[in-house]
Structure formats: C-alpha cells, structure tokens
Structure 1
Amino acid sequence: MARLIKASAFLSLDGVMQAPGGPTEDPTGGFEEGGWVFKMWDEGIEPTLGSLFSGEYDLLLGRRTYDIFAAYWPYVEGEEKPMGEAFDRAAKYVLTRGDRPLEWQNSHRLTGMEDVARLKESDGPDLVIQGSSTLYPGLLAAGLVDTLILMTYPVTLGRGKRLFGEGTPVDRLEMTDHCVTAKGTMIATYRLGGTLPPYPDEAPNPATSEREIARRAAMAEGRW
C-alpha cells in the first residue's frame, strides 16, 4: 500500500514560512523575525500538530530543514524529549542535490522527484513534511502531495521565504477541513484538486473599447 505524503507549514498572512521556531533558525536574506510563531504562540494549533505527529511516520525534509532538525531534536530534554526520541526513531528522507554526509541516524538521501515517487509507492509509514519550503514546487508539480495543512497566523512579515516559491505549478486545491482558533490562526487542510478550469463562457467578455485596446498595446510595449 502506497504511503501518503502529509505536508504542513506555519505561514504568515503574506505567505512567509521562514524561521518560525527561533531567532537563529534561518536568518538568511537578512530575515529578522525568526521565532515569530512563538512570539504569537497559539494553543489552538496543538490538536493539529498532535494528530500530524501521532502514531508511526517517517520524515521527508529539505536539506536545510534537516540540518536544523539534526542540530536540535537529538539533544532536547524535558517536555520535548519524547518528540526528539520519535524523530530519532523515524526514518529521515532528505531531498538534496548535495553530497554532504547525513549524520543523523536513520537518514537517507533522495536526489530528485523520481526518488520521492518511488519512496511513496514503497511499504512503510506515511511521510510527514514540516517546513522545507524548497520541496513544495516540485512535489506539487509532480502531484505527490496528498494532504497540505496550512496554519496561517494573523501577522504579516513583509519579507522571507515563501511556501509557494518559484516553479510552483498552476493548480487547484480542494479544502477538506478548516477551523479558526480563538486567537485567529486559520488552520486549513487541502488536497490536490486538478488543473485550473478554462475561463467560463458565462463570465464577462474582455473589454474591446478603444481605451482598452490602447491599454493592451501599452502593456505589450512596456509602457503600462
């Protein structure tokens, strides 16, 4: 039986997902708002996270998220220790073009979407993605994401890495579940819904006035 790929991400209202967990997590590009999720911690997301990381699962990660996890989770103590132990046990599949060693136990290298597709068809627990912004365009283009859970906080960050980066395909998503927490975080679950339909016949026809024709010409010439 094929595995499911379940992807989840913390987002700002303007689509930023960079460094939700801490100030030093990922300051690349001059990002200064690391740890923004904990600045606005919302207990209302805890059931969603608990469901996502309950039972058996493996992790599918980009290289940078893997490095962040590998430097943190094996060393945690206290209340976070059970999660660290679960991540230690889980297989970590890392999609990367580089050849640097993957030193965290149970780690495996994937080099492209073909590897991900083969892994998805293999026996084993479902694959969970947390973060890993670089994975989404390719996974969506290949139709490999089964569930996409977006936890969108009521905040704008202005700059930073986006979930839907360069290479994201034109696609339609179908919402399968949603809720809004008491603090205003929107939790929405999606599955892939197929291609965008054509412009409907009953929709308004494009304008054909002289002014509209002139506007289109200005666009074509770079003057608009």
Structure 2
Amino acid sequence: MNRRITGSLFVSLDGVIQAPGGPSEDPSGGFAEGGWVFKLWDEGVNRTLGELFGGEYDLLLGRRTYDISAAYWPYVEGPEAGMGEAFTKANKYVLTHGGADLGWDNSHALSGFDDIAALKQTEGPDLIVQGSSTLYPELIAKGLIDRLTLLTYPVVLGSGKRWFGADTKVGTLKLTDHYVTDQGTVVTTYEPGGALPPYPA
C-alpha cells in the first residue's frame, strides 16, 4: 500500500501561515506577529493535533521548516518534551537543494518532487507535512497530497507568507470533515476533488 501524505496548516483568515508557533520562529520580511496561534489556542485545536499526531508517522518538510524545527524540538523541555521526542524519533524527509548537514536524528535529504513521489511508493508510515509553505502548491499540482487539514483562525494578519503562490494550478478540493472550536477556529479537512467543472451552459 502506498504511503499517504497529509498536509496540516495553521492559517489566518487572510491566508497567512508565517511563524504561527513563536515570536522568533520566522521574522523574515519584518513579520511581527509570530506566535499568533497561541493567542487563540483552545481544546479543539489540541484535539485536532492529537488526532493528527496520535499514531505512527514520518515527517515531510521543506528546508526552512526543518531548520526551525531542528533548532527547537530536540531540546524542548516541560509539557512539550514528549512531542519533541516523538518528532526526533520519526523519520524526517527534507526537500533541500543545499549541502548543509541534516544533523537532527533520523533526517533524510530529498532533492526534488520526484523523490517524494518515489517515497510514497515505499513501505512505511504515512507522511505529515506541517508548515513548509513552499511544498504545498507543487504537491497539490502533482497530485501528491492525499489529505489537507486547515486550522483557520479568526484573525487577520495583513502581511506575511501565504500558503498558495501565484503559480498554483486550478482545481477543486472535497470537504470530508469540519468543525469549529470554542475560540472560533474552523478546522476543515479536504481530499483532492479533481478539475474545476465548466461554467453551466
């Protein structure tokens, strides 16, 4: 059986996904709202992440997200230590064009999207993409995403990195699940829906 790829994103109402986890996570471009998801965190978000990371999985990451994660999760203490141990134990497949060492345990370099397609054909747990905005447009365009979960927060951030680029191809997604958390975060899960139908005659 092929591995499935599940994407998961924290996103604002205006499409921003930059630095959801902390003020210093990614201040590039002068982004000053790092850590914005924790200002509206609630049990519904905890439940979503618990379901996402509750089983066996490997991680699929872009290089920038990998570097941010590798600088944090192996060293985290306190309530998040268990998640840090789980991320360290998981295989981490990193799309990277650089030659720098991947020093985090169980990390493996991929050179392109053909490598990701080949990885899906191997034996192993499903793959989770967390963050890594540069991966999504191409993964979707190449039909490599099997499921996409968006946690859309009731906040407008104005500026920052967005998860779809200008070159994203036209297509549809099929809604398979949805609910709203107590703080108003809308959790939606989609699967590929095929081409956009023609305009009604």
Q: Report the TM range for the smaller structure's normalisation.
A: over 0.9
Report the Cα offset of residue 166 of structure 1: 3.1
Q: Which residue of 1 aligns with 2:168?
A: 168
RMSD between aligned residues: 0.8
Q: More relative contact order in 1 or in 2 (CA 8 Å, sep 6+)?
A: 2
For 2:185 and 2:65, the matched residues in 1 are separated by: 23
For 1:157 and 1:72, the matched residues in 2 are separated by: 24
For 2:47 and 2:165, the matched residues in 1 are separated by: 28
For 2:50 and 2:168, the matched residues in 1 are separated by: 28
Matching of residue 4 in structure 1 with residue 31 in structure 2: no
Q: Which residue of 2 aligns with 1:112?
A: 112
Report the more deviating stretch, 10-19 or 39-48. Answer: 39-48
CA-to-partner distance for each residue in 1:69-114, whole Å, 9 max, x for gaps? 1000000112111111111110000011222111111111111110
**Residues 4 and 126 of structure 2 are in contact (CA less than 8 Å); yes or no, is this contact kept in structure 1?**
yes
TM-score normalised over the length of structure 1: 0.88
Q: Which residue of 1 aligns with 2:153?
A: 153
- Stretches of structure 2 that go unaligned for 5 or more consecutive residues are none
SS at match of 1:39: helix
Q: 1:92-131 residue pairs with structure 2 within 5 A?
A: 92-131=92-131
Q: 1:30-179 residue pairs with structure 2 within 5 A?
A: 30-179=30-179
SS at match of 2:102: coil
Amino acid aligned to 1:41: W
**Residues 148 and 191 of structure 1 are in contact (CA less than 8 Å); yes or no, is this contact kept in structure 2?**
yes
For 1:162 and 1:179, the matched residues in 2 are separated by: 23
SS at match of 2:34: coil
For 1:31 and 1:156, the matched residues in 2 are separated by: 13
Distance 1:102 1:166, change over 3 A: farther
Larger Rg: 1
Report the Cα offset of residue 31 of structure 1: 0.6
TM-score normalised over the length of structure 2: 0.98
- Stretches of structure 1 that go unaligned for 5 or more consecutive residues are 202-224
**Residues 138 and 167 of structure 1 are in contact (CA less than 8 Å); yes or no, is this contact kept in structure 2?**
no
For 1:16 and 1:3, the matched residues in 2 are separated by: 29
